[in-house]
Structure 1
Amino acid sequence: MQFKHPELLYALFLLLIPVIIHLFQLRKFQKIDFTNVAFLKRVTIETRKSSQIKKWLVLMTRLLLLACIIFAFAQPFTSKKSNFNTKQETVIYLDNSFSMQIKGNNGELLKRAIQDIIANTSEDETFSILTNDKTFRNTTIKAIKNDLLQLNYTANSLTPEAALLKSKTLFSKQKDVLKNLIFISDFQQSESNFTLKTDSITQYHFVKLNPVNNNNTAIDSAYISERNTTAITLNVILKNSGKTIDNLPISLYNNDKLIAKTSVSIANTAETTFSLPVNEVINGKITIEDAGLQFDNTLYFNINEPSKINVLVINDTDDDFLQRIYTNDEFNYTSVLENQLNYNDIDKQQLIILNELNNIPNALIAALKSFSSQGGSLLIIPSNEANLNSYNALLSHFGSNLNALVNAEKRITKIKYAHPLYNNGVFEKQVTNFQYPVSNNFYTMSSNNAAVALEYEDGKPFLFSNNATYIFTSSLQKDHSNFKRSPLIVPTLYNIGKFSLKFPKLYYTIGANNTFDIVTTLQQDDILALVKDDISIIPRQQYFNNKVVITTSETPNKAHIYGVLNNKETLKKVSYNYDRKESNLNYMTLAPANNLTLSDSIAEIFDNIKSDTKVNALWKWFVIFALAFLIIEMGILKYFK
């Protein structure tokens, strides 16, 4: 038992005064003579005995009465925690990622959690609450009740570590504050193991919400596996957790019109294909019906009208091998001699190839520097008789230099599989033993920011890049190298061409860093926007001479097909889908730790916090006891003879 005003307990010493008075019998009796002394003594003795008992009882009741009054004014209480009078702060993290769509015993986990928070928080209690995409600091349930009831799921999920770190920032910097952090989530298994690092100033309360079952089927991804003159083959991959499904319908829509339907049986994974027409714009949607998570039942994609990449080859030698790679179905291929070049054509290109020029004129150097600065791609194949001064006047713009020509045979033995040219599915597996191409002579080079794609056996570069500029260190003529006959030349040069203009992909993932190019010419103050119905988003964009580079990450935040608009003109369509990592319904096993409370009930956690700091006031009991002793005293005085 503790006291709110313990200083009042000093008044208990005043209780000694009536005790002292009683013990010293300060009252004096008057002496009266009687003839029958023996009888008088007997009566006096009996009266004194009964009087003494009554006085002791009255004294005790009065002392207890006064003591209870003193205790009542001192306001005694009991508390489970010794730091009952410490100021408290409460921060609640509520996971609203898509995995919280799964159903628990009382409906969707997120919706049930919101109802429990509202039901277990008093209207005027101040606390802070955050989700994966919203933060409410120092608020009350009365102020944010409608916001919580309208809370939507988000693709911007946080790892437990990130959520805890963000939650702690909502606590004040004050010392001697009892901090309660309530973490409400399904604790979905993440790529990294989660270990809670507790501290002495924060009490952690983890509420792990459990689904009824882990059954869920998701459209995982889609890709184009084949293109020919008559059809496009679209492959769709599905993943399943829980019970095996024997006949799952899959529907394919174009502009919300059903164009194909099939079904699959699926235990863990399954794959099916659809055939799409060639040279037709497809604004596609693939759907399934599943009672588990809803966000992964739809996958949007689009196939835009085919566009070609402009490739300009400036020659001093034969370019047949380039024409065979940059075919007319994907590229607008133009080949000119250096002395016949129309400089006005340079800004219209996406890729310019210098094919073994002996000398690079100053005018061309200036034009190529400007072209590169405007986002153009450049491929340099040096001549064996190159004027290094003219070459280096251009290459110095990219932080590189070609040095002396070395006449020595070397094999090209190392492929840098992490290089962008080769990390996009060119190779099914990494190979170390293949038919190595050979160079009979090569230029040594120096570079500040070179990303090597192909290496000689001694580690020197055969092909390297700096941003969108690619440089061979050897002539590709058959007298100097057999690289033209190597299988490597096709994916290498083809990808250099394809990377010079990044057409929108089949679809993009919300939350990832996505970049694509839109070929257009903008007027002053024009700006591109991503538009779907009443949603209009202005993405990050960079304008060059003949294209706009668009970059997105967190926005748009809703899966759908968006039009890329310049004013009211639709230039392209791009599709965005939610990240499928939330489809994985595997969960963490939480381990006990200091200052950590584990539960599967939000109500239980709130009750524990309240009981830990609840003050049981006892002053009313002492008032009741005082009244009782007063009644007892009155009874003694009235009825005790």
Structure 2
Amino acid sequence: MYFLNPSAFWGLFVLLIPILVHLFSLRRVKKVYFSNTLFLRTVEQQQKAKSNIKKFLILLSRLLALSFIVLAFAQPTLLASKEAKQTSKALYLDNSFSMQQKSAVGESLMGLALTAINNSFLSPQKQESSIFNNEGIVRGSRRMDINYASSNLKNGLSKLRTHEGFNSVNVYSDFQVSALGELASLALDTSINYKFIKLEVRNNPNLYVDSVYLANPIGVFKENELIVSVGNGGLEDVKERLIKILKDGQQLASYTQDLAAGGVMNLSVNISSNEDVFGSYEVVLDDGAVVFDNSFYFEILPLGKNRVVELGSTKTSYFQRVFANEQLFDYQWYGLDNVSSEALNKSDLIILNGLSSIPDWLINQLENLNKKVLLIPGETSNLEGYQRLLGVRLERLNNEVKNSLSTETLKLPYFEGVFNADNDRVSMPSVNVRYKINGFYETLLETNANEAFFVKSGNKPYYFFASDLVDSVTNFHKHSLFVPVMYRLSQRNSSTDLYYRFSTSLIKVRADSVSSNDLVELHGRQVYIPSYRFVGEDLILELPETLTDPGTYKVVVGTDTISSIALNHPKAESLLEAYTADELRAGLADRGNVEVESIDSSKILSQVQSEGNDRTALWKYALVLALIFVILETLLLRFAK
């Protein structure tokens, strides 16, 4: 026998009430004067003994009546003999977000699994059994509640290997493909017998945001677009669903879209004419089947000044002019004898202009920094250092012919958004190409004679002009084309990401002029303290495991807010494709300790019903006994003398 509601036994404290009433219900003695009480003493003693017995019986009836009422509320249940056996079975509930999917009866998979677990497996003989979800063992309650977590089944199953005390486990899940990965790589304890209970679902659609990005870097380009890539990770087509894009809580754009199952589409917002593009954004999806990913957050932040360092033998006026805008650039010129490692480390673009040779110490430092570097050789430069940095072979030419740069190269992706669509009639600068490049590189500008002029090293962020920038060789440095090319080149290697996922291990935030001794906090709906470290002018954050609520968080160092980051659930959670029972059996056929059962909502409910039929509820008998003792008390009060 066990009790479905053992907390009702707290009601036994009510038994103190009749006991206290009994103890304090003594009547005051009333004096009656008689001339002779000799004959009354025997009668008094006999009446007093009868009264005490009556009061005791009444008290006992009241106590038993109240006791059986409390017992009825505790719902005593008698187990069938087959249930009364001890078991060492554990229960595992996959509580990932994909369990929000609807079953055939319209209830979530999580709700159905909880129904089965809470009603079928939590008998007193099994209450010592371990109960797990993706976050680990569940303690402190015999009943499990809905608690979704951004963690996957594969990681959760691996944690079972660290626990003892059971030799079999029932696993309730939809067995999402993105959560399990390849079945052959699934780590299972060979000493445990697994029963995978595959919860069958109806075909559900699920809109999610695949990615958000800007077509071009913010700041210096004429045109730009915000691209929002939306996917359908479900198994059913989406029809006429509303998608809204909000900026700082105000609607920026809205769309009504259809999307096939498994499809991805791009939505674009023209932001080139909107000067105030910086702020907090949210994409809101009208999707009722799986709701955890209906909001997606991202930030467009000001990038600050681009830091440009030029190293050369003499200052060049054309670089000074092109980077003269102090709102966009922090330009500094140094000679090789006075440049500091700190200046190089803080820079976004390093220009080596006309150096007769590149010393080994500078080559080593540049390779360690992995910064953007523009190399412009002089007429008599030693090419060894240039070749070493670029990873190509340079051959000096004796070419005296100038050719115009081709307009076709302006259509390359590198210059997308920089120029107007029609560049065929643009007057292009002329150049006398002095160096032939042999090796792995990408051509960004070339002449009409197919001579590479401006190239990028194939596997490094290093750029090269195939001639020195002097008037006798080229007019490129005086042409209007020079400005947008330099602006494009000066953009940072990797601007701040618009958003992050909780699966991101480390987040880098630029932290200029802050003290490394100050405490770093993330301020959102709650305040979190992440693990962090300062590396140069960057702050490296490691998200705490307790941070699971998507949204926008302010990065606060001491009392200063230095940046914002937008956090979202991993994309894999939104992909609802799941293994079928047959695929599980085939993929785990070589595992002798794994059994697979397919179960739908009707089967779960019928199992719960049958489990209930194997038990005998005793609360009705307790209620009848309570009623009997109430009647007995009434009879004692009415007829007993």
Q: What is the TM-score normalised by the length of structure 1?
A: 0.57
Q: 1:178 to 1:402 in 2, by over 3 A?
A: closer
Once structures 1 and 2 are overlaid, which stretch shifts more, 324-333 or 233-242? 324-333
| Residues 311-326 of structure 1 aligned to structure 2 (within 5 Å) | 311-316=308-313
Tell me by how many angstroms 1:208 deviates: 1.1
Q: Which residue of 2 aligns with 1:205?
A: 195
Matched with 1:535 is 527
Extract unaligned runs of 5+ from structure 1: 1-77, 410-421, 428-436, 446-451, 456-461, 612-641
Task: Name the SS for the 2:573 alignment partner.
Answer: helix
- Cα separation, 2, equivalents of 1:403 and 1:265: 49
Q: Which residue of 2 aligns with 1:153?
A: 149
Alpha carbons of structure 1 residues 79 and 490: separation in structure 2 relative to 1, 3 Å: farther
1:86-106 per-position Cα deviation (integer Å, ceiling 9, x unaligned): x97544432222211112236
Decide which structure has the larger Cα Rg and report it: 1
Cα distance in structure 2, aligned partners of 1:88 and 1:490:
77
Equivalent residue of 1:599, what SS?
Answer: strand
1:356 aligns with 2:348: no
Structure 1 residues 262 and 472, CA, compared in 2 at 3 Å: closer, same or farther? closer
CA distance in 2, matches of 1:358, 1:381: 10
User: SS of the counterpart of 1:169?
Assistant: helix
Q: CA deviation at 1:305?
A: 2.9
Equivalent residue number for residue 521 of structure 1? 513
SS in 2 for 1:296: coil
Provide the residue aligned with 1:51 in structure 2.
none
Q: Label 1:491 to 1:116 Cα distance change in 2 as closer, same or farther (>3 A).
A: farther
Residue 247 (1) aligns with residue 240 (2): yes
What does 1:446-457 correspond to in 2, within 5 Å?
none
Note the 1:412-431 alignment, pairs <5 A. none
Matches of residues 428-467 of structure 1 in structure 2 within 5 Å? none
Would the aligned equivalents of 2:508 and 2:538 in 1 still touch at CA under 8 Å?
A: no
- Asked if the contact 1:249–1:262 (Cα under 8 Å) also holds between the matched residues in 2, the reply is yes
Q: Partner residue of 1:127?
A: 129
Secondary structure of the corresponding residue to residue 190 of structure 1? helix
More strand by share: 1
Number of residue pairs the alignment of both structures matches: 466
> Using the alignment, how far apart are the partners of 2:516 and 2:364 within structure 1?
24
Contact 1:511–1:555, Cα closer than 8 Å, also in 2: no
Contact 1:355 1:380 in 2 (8 A): yes
Task: Give secondary structure in 2 for the equivalent of 1:100.
Answer: helix
The reply to whether residue 308 of structure 1 matches residue 274 of structure 2 is no
Alpha-carbon distance in structure 2 between the residues aligned to 1:517 and 1:356: 34
Is the contact made by 1:463 and 1:473 (CA closer than 8 Å) also made in structure 2?
A: no
What residue identity is the alignment partner of 1:211? V
Q: For residues 572-587 of structure 1, what are the structure 2 equivalents within 5 Å? A: 572-587=563-578
Residue 564 (structure 1) aligns with? 555
* Alpha-carbon distance, 1:285 to partner: 1.4
1:315–1:356 Cα contact (<8 Å) kept: yes
Q: Deviations over 1:108-147 (max 9, x none)?
A: 2224323432322234633334433x212xxxx773447x
**Which secondary structure state, in structure 1, belongs to the residue aligned with residue 162 of structure 2?**
coil
C-alpha displacement of 1:438? 12
Which letter maps to 1:185?
Answer: S
Return the TM-score normalized by structure 2. Answer: 0.57
Q: State the distance in 1 between where 2:182 and 2:110 align.
A: 24
Q: Distance in 2 between matches of 1:369 and 1:600?
A: 63
Tell me if the contact between 1:235 and 1:271 (Cα under 8 Å) persists in the aligned partners: yes
Q: 2 CA distance for matches of 1:552 and 1:379?
A: 36
- The structural deviation recorded for 1:230 is 8.7
Q: 1:196 and 1:337 mapped to 2: Cα distance?
A: 55
Match of 1:281 in 2: 278
1:413-462 Cα deviation digits (max 9, x unpaired): xxxxxxxxx999999xxxxxxxxx998768999xxxxxx7669xxxxxx9
* Cα 1:554/1:92, change in 2 over 3 Å: same
- The verdict on how the C-alpha distance between 1:525 and 1:348 changes in structure 2, with shifts beyond 3 A counting, is same
- Check the 8 A contact 1:504/1:574 in 2, yes or no: no
Matched, 1:194 2:186: no
CA distance in 2, matches of 1:296, 1:94: 21
**8 Å contact kept, 1:442–1:473:** no
In structure 2, what is the equivalent of residue 36 of structure 1?
none
Match of 2:167 in 1: 179
- Contact 2:90–2:166, Cα closer than 8 Å, also in 1: no
- The aligned residue for residue 507 of structure 1 is 499
Counterparts of 2:270 and 2:114, CA distance in 1: 45
Shift of 1:531: 1.9
- The 5 Å alignment of 1:82-121 reads 89-104=88-103, 105=105, 107-119=107-119, 120-121=121-122
How has the CA–CA distance of structure 1 residues 94 and 355 changed in structure 2, closer, same or farther, with 3 Å as cutoff?
Answer: farther
Partners of 1:274 and 1:370 lie apart in 2 by 41
Q: SS of the residue aligned with 1:181?
A: strand
Opposite residue 290 of structure 1, the aligned amino acid is: D
Could you tell me how far apart the structure 1 residues matched to 2:416 and 2:130 are?
50
Alpha-carbon shift at residue 207 of structure 1 (Å): 1.0
- CA shift in 2, pair 1:212/1:438, >3 Å: farther
2:581 alignment partner, SS class: coil
Superposition deviation, residue 304 in structure 1: 1.7
Distance 1:347 1:601, change over 3 A: closer
Distance 1:533 1:207, change over 3 A: same
- Summarize deviations over 1:574-604 as a string: whole Å, max 9, x none: 2112223322232212233455141326997
TM-aligned CA deviation for residue 511 of structure 1: 0.4
Alpha carbons of structure 1 residues 283 and 190: separation in structure 2 relative to 1, 3 Å: closer
Deviations for 1:302-353, whole angstroms, at most 9, x for unmatched residues?
A: 2223422111112348979978997959951626362896759656533322
CA distance in 1: counterparts of 2:241 and 2:200, whole angstroms: 26
- The aligned runs of 1:307-386 (5 Å cut-off) are 307-316=304-313, 331-332=328-329, 334=331, 336=333, 338=335, 349-359=347-357, 383=378, 385-386=380-381
Residue in structure 1 matched with residue 162 of structure 2 by the alignment: 170
Check conservation: 2:99, 2:174, Cα contact below 8 A. Answer: yes
Q: CA deviation at 1:294?
A: 0.7
Q: Is the 8 A contact 1:529 1:564 kept in 2?
A: yes
